[in-house]
Structure 1
Amino acid sequence: MFTADEIVTGIFTRPWVFIRGVPAMKFLPPEGPPEIAFAGRSNVGKSSLINALVGQNGLARTSNTPGRTQELNYFVPDGYSGMEGDMPPMALVDMPGYGYAKAPKDQVDLWTKLVFDYLKGRVTLKRVYLLIDARHGIKKNDEEVMALLDKAAVSYQIVLTKTDKIKAAGVPKLIEDTLLKTKRRPAAFPVVLATSSEKNEGLDELRAAMVLAVNGG
């Protein structure tokens, strides 16, 4: 029997690979391993956080240009055959950022529909980690996504990003304020995590939470 720490180490110390970009629901891979998805406003740091979690700088494409991720990007640990009985312990899904007003409206609408359709209809989706920039807090777009997740009964957990960009003394208060804003939301997991991809802070806690999530915790 493996301990939780051993499971976390076994998953996140092996190489991860990109397996598919999904521009529309019909291109989704067959439902297999449990999925953990990362959602958030454009430029909130989803790709940087995924890279930091698996220790691979070039796995998820990062950019200073908001709206760069336009598909559902799937990643799994390397070395699994995909056959029954040899499935990855989890898949990570980097979702297109929302709230980027400068992209053409029809493109924004397509991205938004893809994300929302995925959230509502994916049986293997175990939890969404909703990333919130610590410098800006929860915005209207974030509240709209939380409302959709509540309606779809999809479990989600708030992850504060870029906490190295604010004063350390302000982080506990930000966590407390964020918890209050999500307290009455039925699908919100009642723990807020604080992370910094640049400083590698809070990553072990997030990895452990992901392992618990895919195992029903």
Structure 2
Amino acid sequence: MGAVSLDHLPAPDKVEVAFAGRSNVGKSSLINAITRQKALARTSGEPGRTRELNFFETAGGEMRIVDLPGYGYARAPKDVVERWTRLTKAFLRGRVNLKRAFVLIDSRHGIKDVDKGIMDVFDEAAVSYQIVLTKLDKLKPGQAQRMIEETETAIMKRPAAFPRLVATSSAKRTGLDMIRAEIAALIQQ
């Protein structure tokens, strides 16, 4: 379907799941990996490439994936970052078919203040979100386990946070089946 503006949002006729994350967190790679399509979401070595709402229809048409603009990209002008934030907030308002947002956190860095900011947006909008740790293959096993535990503790008191996080590696294909299972359960609701 591609990028759209708020004036041209698709009708709320399908289950939607959204993916949000800091620039360069691996959002496009993860979307491609879970859909088993190499080039559905465009990947780039340049952070901050997702600047609009991108909608992807899944095979069979039973659901829609929404790729939200990346946040936290310091090189983007402040007014552009504010526009991306407004776009995301406006999208979340009243989107009853949005069943869950997946908030991607780079496992090498953990939850940053900018991540807390987007979680606040989801909490305020009462949109259920689930934390997905990315790039788990970049950590040693002990470090990975500590990061999982720290992240679980950090989200415990957040009102809209889904209590189970998913640890992934798009490169090693770790955790992808778990995300697929979460999405399949949302479609069945």
Look up the equivalent residue of 2:41 and give its one-letter code.
Answer: A
* Residue of structure 2 equivalent to 1:4: none
Secondary structure of residue in 2 paired with 1:121: coil
Tell me which of 33, 50, 57 is aligned to 1:76.
57
TM-score (norm 1): 0.84
Size of the alignment, in residue pairs? 189
Report the Cα offset of residue 57 of structure 1.
1.0
Task: Tell me whether 1:212 sits opposite 2:162 in the alignment.
Answer: no
User: Structure 1 CA distance, aligned partners of 2:2 and 2:171?
Assistant: 26
User: Structure 2 CA distance, aligned partners of 1:173 and 1:213?
Assistant: 29
Report the Cα offset of residue 116 of structure 1.
1.6
Secondary structure of residue in 1 paired with 2:65: strand
* Residue of structure 1 equivalent to 2:127: 154
Moved over 4 A (4+): none
Secondary structure of residue in 2 paired with 1:97: coil
* Residue of structure 2 equivalent to 1:169: 142
Secondary structure of residue in 1 paired with 2:19: strand
Contact 1:131 1:159 in 2 (8 A): yes
TM-score (norm 2): 0.96
User: Structure 1 CA distance, aligned partners of 2:73 and 2:45?
Assistant: 13
Report the Cα offset of residue 77 of structure 1.
2.2
User: Percent identical across equivalent pairs?
Assistant: 54
User: Structure 1 CA distance, aligned partners of 2:172 and 2:79?
Assistant: 37
* Residue of structure 1 equivalent to 2:11: 30
* Residue of structure 2 equivalent to 1:20: 2
Larger radius of gyration: 1
* Residue of structure 2 equivalent to 1:120: 93
Report the Cα offset of residue 213 of structure 1.
2.4
Unaligned runs of 5+ in 1: 1-18, 81-87
Report the Cα offset of residue 147 of structure 1.
1.3
Contact 1:41 1:142 in 2 (8 A): yes
Task: Provide, for residues 112-144 of structure 1, a one-character-per-residue CA deviation record: whole Å limited to 9, x for no partner.
Answer: 111121123311100000000000000001111
User: Structure 1 CA distance, aligned partners of 2:131 and 2:58?
Assistant: 24
Contact 1:51 1:57 in 2 (8 A): yes
User: Structure 1 CA distance, aligned partners of 2:130 and 2:75?
Assistant: 28
User: Structure 1 CA distance, aligned partners of 2:33 and 2:71?
Assistant: 21
Task: Tell me whether 1:43 sits opposite 2:24 in the alignment.
Answer: yes
Task: Tell me whether 1:60 sits opposite 2:33 in the alignment.
Answer: no
